[in-house]
Amino acid sequence: MAVGSAQGIAPLGELLAYEDIDAAEENADWITARLMSYVGVYLIGKFAGKWVVDIDPQSPTYARYLVELPAPNGGPDVRIDVVGEIDAFLHEPEGHSFLMFIVGLEGRFPL
């Protein structure tokens, strides 16, 4: 699945580079839901992860869908709040790069 998902990064990047999320606030949930699915499937396919729901009431991501990826060297699994990451990406200034978002996301977690 990751290979197929990876092929869509460049076209999605072109579409999202000048997306003004503030002007399209009524479509923000629609955009976020689709990107959450896309990025989640991409990461899960590339790193053999899975979807989980945060069930810790003390967690800032309580009741959210997270992507859980196995950590290298037997460490604790890595959990990524994909919706939070996408929301931050969509609120960057126009001209942002979806490819750099994906590369940065992969690079911030010890996988």
pLDDT in tens, 36-89: 988 999 999 988 999 999 999 999 999 999 999 998 777 888 899 999 999 888
**Dihedral over alpha carbons 72, 74, 75, 78 (to 10 degrees):** 50
Beta-bridge mates of residue 65:
53
Distance, in Å, from the CA atom of 103 to the CA atom of 6, rounded to the nearest integer, reads 11
The DSSP secondary-structure symbol of 76 reads: P
**Does residue 2 surpass a pLDDT of 50?**
no
